[in-house]
Amino acid sequence: MNTQVNIKTGRRRFTANVLTLLVGVVAVLVLGHASVQAQTTSTSTVDSSITIKTNGTVSDPSGAIKLSGNVTIKCRRVIDNTVATLPPLVLLDFDFSQLTGTTGTGKTLVTYVTGDNHVTAVRPFQASDTIVVTVPYFDSTKDVLSASSFLATATLNFDISTGTLTSGTLTYGTNVFKSSGVGTFTVN
């Protein structure tokens, strides 16, 4: 291949706009290079967690389910050092596995569990964040195929200076998406 000829051909295809913009690129190169080198050494993470004692009630075809149990929320704040203008992130892990629910009493008592359910989420790091997630639950005597879901609304508070999760609340409710997230169509 005649590289020299092809290079000229390729360059002629570049618009004048691009070629004009290449003037003064040396300064950009220096900045870019320095930036890349710096990125290899300055990752910052801060780990924290809270455990919230929770309770609530959600409606189910079998009756109102009373929920109670501890929910542990782990938080890792990560400094994003590739672009200074981006906010740091938090990696959240909600552990709902200790949450149980009941309906009825005595012989009609049914216990519900959430399985080994965790919800993970990446969120921008900010002083406060509200996250709405759905959580599965099922009769502890049955298998996971019988699972349904309820809504959990977490309001979390973070210490901006230390990067830690400091407090939060969790409220439970009926899964509103069960109706809004389903549509209809005409069957042929």
Binders of another protein among 169-188, rule CB under 8 A? 175, 177-188
Note whether 117 binds another protein by CB under 8 A: yes
Per CB under 8 A, which of residues 120..159 are in contact with another protein? 120-124, 131-136, 138, 143-145, 147-149, 151
Note whether 59 binds another protein by CB under 8 A: no
Per CB under 8 A, which of residues 23..52 are in contact with another protein? 25-26, 28-29, 32-33, 36-37, 39-40, 43-45, 47
Tell me the C-alpha distance between 160 and 124, whole Å.
12
Residue 105 Cβ vs another protein, minimum distance, rounded to whole Å: 26
Q: Using only C-alpha atoms, what is the Rg of the chain?
A: 27
Q: What is the largest CA-CA distance in the chain?
A: 89
The residues near 121 (Cβ < 8 Å, ≥ 6 apart) are: 91, 92, 94, 131, 133
Residue from 61, 82, 107, 109 binding another protein (CB under 8 A): 82
Nearer to another protein, 1 or 109 (CB): 1
Residue from 61, 105, 109, 116 binding another protein (CB under 8 A): 116
Read off the amino acid at residue 76.
R
| Contact of 126 with 163, CB cutoff 8 Å | no
